[in-house]
């Protein structure tokens, strides 16, 4: 049942019950106590620590001249809920999860928080089943593209709010406006959703388990959506006739998308 998932992970489990637990959401566990061996929240705790360790090691190895403050920001951008959720979605991890009735309804569009938690639990299961080496290999494969995009000469590459503000001040002579859309969940596990506007135009949305994280995610979304057509619409609204380009692009790069 899990052969294709194990192939993606690059690890064949000896303790298959460990894999099943890593894929079991608490909603399924509490609805099926007689046949469920547990849920993934304890594994998520361990997976978070293993992920921090391996990515810290990778960042220090790749960027020997970058200071610890920048390395910490990069690591935070790699292990945040949004990034982990994207990686899990790319793996189609949602289809393997054991979900209760309430979560099953949203399986096709599973929440980033749920997917991120399951991915961390899965990483912990690989670590417990095979040790640090297979866990390190798994992380290396899953994060290879994102690690390769980091630029040691551009240490604020993942501070999306700063990048968006500097760009908007330079090109539109204004600053981004962040608006809270919603906050849902219990006090200890709230999910915040924010939108960001430039010159009154909505440019992106984001979510996170804190207001700051949600604003960063919204800024990241806005930077990714910036292209010539969008900028033209903003310029017209603000009365500017100039052509602007997103950070890191040139007039020859018509897509304007950040790399």
- Write out the catalytic residue numbers: 48, 120
Signed CA dihedral, 11, 16, 18, 23: sign only: positive
Which backbone phi and psi does 105 adopt, to 5 degrees? -60, -25
In the block, residue with structure tokens 């960001």: 196
Which DSSP state fits 167? H
The span from the CA of 22 to the CA of 224, in Å, is 32
Tokens at residue 259, please? 């790399």
Assign 192 to helix, strand or coil: strand
How far apart CA 128 and CA 44 sit, in angstroms, is 12
Helix (H) or strand (E) holding 229: helix 228-238
| Cβ pair 117, 125 in contact under 8 A | no
Residue 79's Cα: distance from chain center in Å? 7
What's the longest Cα–Cα distance across the chain? 67
Q: Taking the CA atoms of the chain, what radius of gyration do you get in angstroms?
A: 20
Q: How far apart are CA 140 and CA 185, in angstroms?
A: 33
């Amino acid at each position: 049942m899990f052969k294709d998932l194990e192939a993606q992970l690059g690890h064949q489990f000896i303790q298959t019950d460990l894999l099943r637990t890593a894929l079991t959401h608490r909603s399924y566990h509490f609805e099926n106590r007689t046949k469920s061996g547990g849920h993934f929240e304890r594994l998520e705790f361990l997976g978070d620590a293993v992920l921090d360790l391996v990515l810290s090691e990778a960042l220090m190895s790749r960027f020997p001249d970058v200071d610890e403050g920048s390395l910490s920001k990069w690591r935070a951008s790699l292990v945040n809920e949004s990034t982990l959720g994207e990686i899990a979605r790319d793996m189609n991890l949602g289809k393997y999860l054991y979900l209760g009735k309430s979560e099953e309804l949203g399986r096709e569009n599973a929440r980033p928080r749920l997917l991120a938690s399951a991915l961390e639990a899965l990483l912990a299961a690989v670590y417990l089943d095979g040790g640090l080496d297979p866990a390190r290999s798994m992380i290396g494969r899953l994060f290879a593209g994102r690690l390769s995009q980091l630029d040691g000469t551009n240490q604020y590459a993942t501070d999306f709010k700063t990048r968006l503000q500097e760009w908007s001040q330079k090109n539109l002579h204004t600053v981004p406006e962040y608006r809270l859309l919603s906050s849902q969940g219990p006090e200890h596990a709230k999910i915040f959703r924010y939108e960001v506007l430039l010159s009154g135009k909505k440019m992106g949305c984001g979510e996170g388990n804190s207001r700051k994280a949600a604003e960063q995610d919204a800024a990241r979304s806005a930077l990714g959506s910036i292209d010539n057509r969008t900028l033209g619409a903003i310029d017209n609204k603000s009365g500017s006739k100039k052509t602007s380009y997103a950070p890191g692009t040139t007039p020859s790069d018509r897509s304007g998308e950040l790399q």
